[in-house]
Amino acid sequence: MPINYTRVLSGNVILPVLFGIIVIGFAQLSFAEELESATFIAVNEEKFEQPQSRHSYQQVVIFGYIEDYSRGSQITFVIIAPDKSQIEITTYAARNGDIYTPIHITGDSQIGIHQLILKYQDEEIASTLFEILENQ
């Protein structure tokens, strides 16, 4: 029995599918707006390859958002290396709480998983991980 495409494309199928797409679109939009207002920290990639030379580097971009940020207040990034050594970077967020800070991975950077902690007003408010892989 041949398929009647006119009937399949009629309102019996298209309207429910179109309604479903619209509902999913609005749900994703409201979820995205909710994420924008929540404090978070991230890096542009989860895994980075260690440069071969100590004179070359790979840039890592730390980005995020601080909810209820007070303009001019310092923020601190704490990077904990695999050997538990720490590096602290103090900077500022944008007036609206957005964070954007580049750092460099060099040939001297430790191989392994690094923890990145965001501190604001002497309190840890977010964290993430990234990994430096041995150069192949």
The pLDDT tens digits of the residues spanning 12-68 come to 555 454 455 554 554 454 444 444 579 999 999 999 998 887 788 999 999 999 999
**Count H helices, E strands: the chain?**
2, 8
* Domain-wise residue ranges, the chain: 40-133
Helices (H), 9-105: 11-36
User: Three-state SS for 14?
Assistant: helix
The pLDDT tens digits of the residues spanning 107-133 come to 889 999 999 999 999 999 999 999 999
CATH of domain 40-133: 2.60.40.1930
Q: Which residue has the tokens 């998983």?
A: 113
